[in-house]
Chain A
Amino acid sequence: MHEVLLTLGFGLVTAAILSLSAVAFTLEYAVTNVANLSHGEILTIGAYAAYLVHRLTGSALLAALGAAVAGGIVALAMHTAVIDPFVRRGFGTMPTFIATLGMSFVIQNVLVIIFGAANVAYTIPQGAPHQVGPFLWTSAEEEIIISALGITAVLYVIITHTKFGKALRAVFQNRDLARVTGINARLVGAATWFLAGLVAGYAGFILAESVGTFNPYFGFSFFLITLTAAVAGGLGKPFSTMAGALIVGIVLEFAGGYISASYEIAFAFAILAAIILVRPRGLFTNARRTVFE
């Protein structure tokens, strides 16, 4: 039982990071109807930005902020340079999807040029593990979970109670109609991507902290797990995505006990495939999925 709780505790840490990354991804999807294959690169950039800031200032807090801001800027740039031109011209999901693949490629290699392909590590003290109820966490891990909860709460308020949140939901359901009611879909899109970038950049920082080392490709491999969580929750639905991330994060952690960590991603994909085949609209929506219905 103790083992189970411990694993559960680690699973919660993974789930926290995963939920932030997945929510950011699903927000990007919601507002522009694009599955952003270069989403992982936002995390990577966040991790590198935090690294630079920490090297400069020695402050973990500033590093976290730096990660968020860098992520926001990158996401905004992605939206302005590639996503929005495609969406505005009515290009459809597939071409834009493939374009994000190209973008991912470009960004990874830019990072290789700047930082080299070698692994990099933070020198941020993690604190010793200590008991928190039935779980065993370092103070860094505690911070991760608390900050994830906090950010989630803030996002919740933004999405459900602000005018911006309403506009976001309208654009998700019917972009043209939203424009016709006076919502500037383009601006809403840009703002949402910036917001998603903030969250994703920070997620990259805490992920790198938690894993220990990172390199230009680390965001992409985590992205595949993010994708699983996002699809499990249902693309475009922020709150069920968080629930999906929780489930996936915990399942992976448990599975990781039985399967070597290097198979983790493959396992995640197996879950993903299973979910898509059985419940493509997410675990929480009962939708038949024939090609015609």
Chain B
Amino acid sequence: MSNEVAALSIQGLTAGYGGPPIIDQVTLTARRGAITAIVGPNGAGKSTLLKAVAGLIRPTAGRVFVEGKEVTNQPVETLVRRGIAYVPQVENIFPDLTIRENLDMGGYVRKSGVRERIEQLFLLFPDLRVSAYRRASTLSGGQRTMLALARGLMVDPAVLILDEPSSGLSPRFQGLIWERIEQIRSTNVAVLIVEQNTRETLRHAQWAYVLVLGQNRLEGSGQDLLENDEVVDLYVGRLS
């Protein structure tokens, strides 16, 4: 990858929910065309980090840059226009709207090309095309996740932030999701992902950050971290 400017760059980000900060001076970079993973034990602040980057939580310190331009402290509504798309872990679709309407809504900030973009995404997620006029609430868990991903992609983001997309999904669907994520990556999007299944995540990640107690602990390529004993014992375990 020879991108000069990182799609996403975070420096010294500190944030919490009032009270002591959950993430403390976190620094990371995510590049286009790469999957950047954040792993670590529970309570490490991974979800909080994603929410802070997405603008749902206001950071108390630190700076955030998207493609070199600073977006620190901007609310989530404007960050979408700057190229950050966030896919939450739960409640990530509009249940009473159809698939098509969900995607439509995803393209809310687009000035044009909503129809075309929907067509492109149907190529990437053929299952969604089949059920395009079904209410999102009737979809199975795996289909919902696909829809949530597609919705995020409607804005042609520079950075796609995924918060545990495969949580609660069967192993088969987990495999499918990773396939899609790979495909998304190859369209030159920077994927920033937090996942429970650490082993699988590290296998797919070009780069990964280990977060412990809200702070940077380690970083390296996914492969390297998979071979790191400490990481395996403490964060990967034998049960994943």
Q: Do A and B come from one complex?
A: yes
Contact of B95 among A163, A173, A182 (CB under 8 A): A173
Instruction: Judge whether A286 is part of the interface by a CB distance below 8 angstroms.
Output: no
B106 within 8 A of A: yes
Contact A181:B109 (CB < 8 A) given known A170-B94, A173-B94, A173-B96: yes
Q: Which of A163, A169, A170, A180 contacts B76 (CB 8 A)?
A: A180
CB-CB contacts of A126-142 with B at 8 A, as 1s and 0s?
Answer: 00000000000000000
Q: Beyond A166-B105, A173-B96, A173-B97, is A180–B91 a contact (Cβ under 8 Å)?
A: no
Closest to A184 in B: B77
Q: Can you pick out 19 interface pairs between chain A and chain B where the beta carbons lie within 8 Å of each other? A: A167-B108, A170-B108, A173-B96, A174-B91, A174-B94, A177-B91, A177-B93, A179-B56, A180-B54, A180-B56, A180-B85, A181-B105, A181-B151, A182-B78, A182-B80, A182-B108, A183-B108, A184-B75, A184-B77
| Bound CA–CA A170/B92 (angstroms) | 12
Does B203 sit at the interface, judged by CB under 8 A? Answer: no
Given A166, A177, A185, which contacts B88 in the complex, CB threshold below 8 Å?
A: A177
Do the beta carbons of B56 and A176 come within 8 Å of each other? yes
Residues of B within 8 A of A185 (CB): 77
Nearest Cβ on chain B to A167's Cβ, whole angstroms: 7
C-alpha gap A183/B105 in the complex (Å)? 9
Cα A179 to Cα B54 in complex, Å, equals: 10
Residue in B closest to A163 when the chains form the complex, CB atoms:
B108
What is the CB-to-nearest-CB distance from A120 to chain B, in angstroms, rounded to a whole number?
A: 44
Are B81 and A182 touching (Cβ within 8 A)?
Answer: yes
Q: Which residues of A contact B94 (CB under 8 A)?
A: 170, 173-174, 177
Additional pairs, 16, CB under 8 Å, beyond known A180-B76, A184-B75: A166-B108, A170-B94, A170-B97, A174-B91, A174-B94, A176-B56, A177-B92, A177-B94, A179-B56, A179-B76, A180-B80, A181-B105, A181-B154, A182-B108, A182-B109, A185-B77
Interfacial chain A residues near B92, Cβ < 8 Å: 177
CB distance from B160 to the nearest CB of A (A): 12
Given contacts A166-B105, A176-B56, contact A181 B80 (CB under 8 A): yes
The answer to whether B106 touches A181 (Cβ under 8 A) is yes
Scoring A178, A179, A180, A185 by chain B CB atoms within 10 A of each residue's CB, the highest score goes to A180
Residues of B within 8 A of A163 (CB): 108
Among B75, B95, B105, B151, the one with the most A-chain Cβ atoms within 10 Å of its Cβ is B105
> Given the complex of chains A and B, what is the CA–CA distance between A167 and B106 in angstroms?
11
What residues of A have a CB within 8 angstroms of the CB of B93 in the complex? 174, 177
User: What residues on A are CB-neighbors of B209 within 8 Å?
Assistant: none
Instruction: Return B42 CB to nearest CB of chain A, in Å.
Output: 22
Asked if B91 and A176 make an inter-chain contact with CB atoms under 8 angstroms apart, the answer reads yes
List the 9 shortest-distance A-B pairs measured between CB atoms, nearest first.
A182-B109, A182-B80, A184-B77, A173-B94, A181-B108, A179-B76, A180-B86, A182-B108, A170-B105
Interface residue B155 (Cβ < 8 Å from any Cβ of A)? yes
A167-B108, A173-B95 as given contacts; A179 in contact with B88, CB under 8 Å: no
Cβ contacts under 8 Å, A170 to chain B: 94, 97, 105, 108
| Complex Cα spacing A180 to B85, Å | 7
**0/1 interface trace, chain A 212-244, chain B, CB 8 Å (1 if under):** 000000000000000000000000000000000
Would A179 and B95 be within 8 Å (CB), given that A166-B108, A167-B108, A170-B105 are in contact? no
Name B120-176 residues within 8 Å CB distance of A: 151, 154-155
